[in-house]
Structure 1
Amino acid sequence: MRIGELSRATGASTRSLRYYENQGLLSSDRRPNGYREYGEEAVRQVAFIQDLYRAGLPSQIIRDILPCAGPTPPPGECTRLLARVRQVRDELARQEHAIAQRREMLDRYLAGTAAPAGLPSRAEDQ
């Protein structure tokens, strides 16, 4: 299938597909006229790439993950990679916790139940 067909099948722009190929995430064969030709498995691969990007993974990690998601994963490398993906997930959880704490602080300020350290809140003034 050509790049336009892959774009329609996946919802990814042709620019994104070229970027994925440039990053080593997707491959194509070139026709004699220079057009890219993708196999049927490219639809699934593009969907997987998009999911991993939405999950916040950078191209480098996605490039390493792709062989592990294939029909014959390379021996040994995937265990190490899985640990790296868990680290990324755990960092996201830490960031979520920090954001939740910051949001709660702002909520308390907006509700008038919090004030800068050492000063009474509006609720205490009343």
Structure 2
Amino acid sequence: MSVSSADEADHIGMKIGELSRLTGVSPRLLRYYEEQELLTSDRTGRGHRRYTGDAPMVVGHIRALLAAGLTTSVIREVLSCVRGPGLELEHCAAPTLSDQLRSLDARISTLQNARTALVRLLTTTAEQPR
């Protein structure tokens, strides 16, 4: 019995379920990462996704960058600057990450100002007679 080239292609690479088990990321989220152009897969002759051996590392990078508060569009910009199994960033990520940090600092400042104003409102509300 011979194996067709489509059957042979179905055995190359890692299936989405296996990648999900290895990374703890749901298949639905893995498909979303692909839609966002963060993760790539090849399609077999039968249309099944197959991922390369470095896919678990890439998913780990994506998760770490998401945990840092980066959006998927920003991750798409800096992902090519990530190297190795750890989250080692090359200098090409620095300008984008610096912009993100400035933006985060501005949002924190805005939230701190809003908190101060809210505390002031609560203080004056509590002091008024009922």
RMSD value over aligned CA atoms?
2.4
Partner of 1:75: none
CA drift at 1:45: 0.9
Distance 1:91 1:60, change over 3 A: same
Instruction: Give the fraction of aligned pairs with identical amino acids, expressed as a percent.
Output: 37
1:103 matched to 2:115: yes
- 2:22 matched to 1:17? no
Rounded to whole Å, the distance in 2 between the matches of 1:97 and 1:23 is 30
- Counterpart in 1 of 2:104? 92
Q: Which structure exhibits the higher relative contact order, with contacts defined as CA atoms closer than 8 Å and separated by 6 or more residues?
A: 2
Give, as a single letter, the amino acid of the residue that structure 2 aligns with 1:82. Answer: A
Counterpart residue number, 2:127 = 122
- The aligned length equals 111
Q: What residue ranges of structure 1 are gaps of 5+ in the alignment?
A: 72-77, 116-120
Alpha-carbon distance between aligned partners in 2 of 1:30 and 1:39, rounded to the nearest angstrom = 11
Question: Secondary structure at 2:113's aligned position in 1?
Answer: helix
| Alpha-carbon distance between aligned partners in 2 of 1:45 and 1:22, rounded to the nearest angstrom | 15
- What is the TM-score normalised by the length of structure 2? 0.70
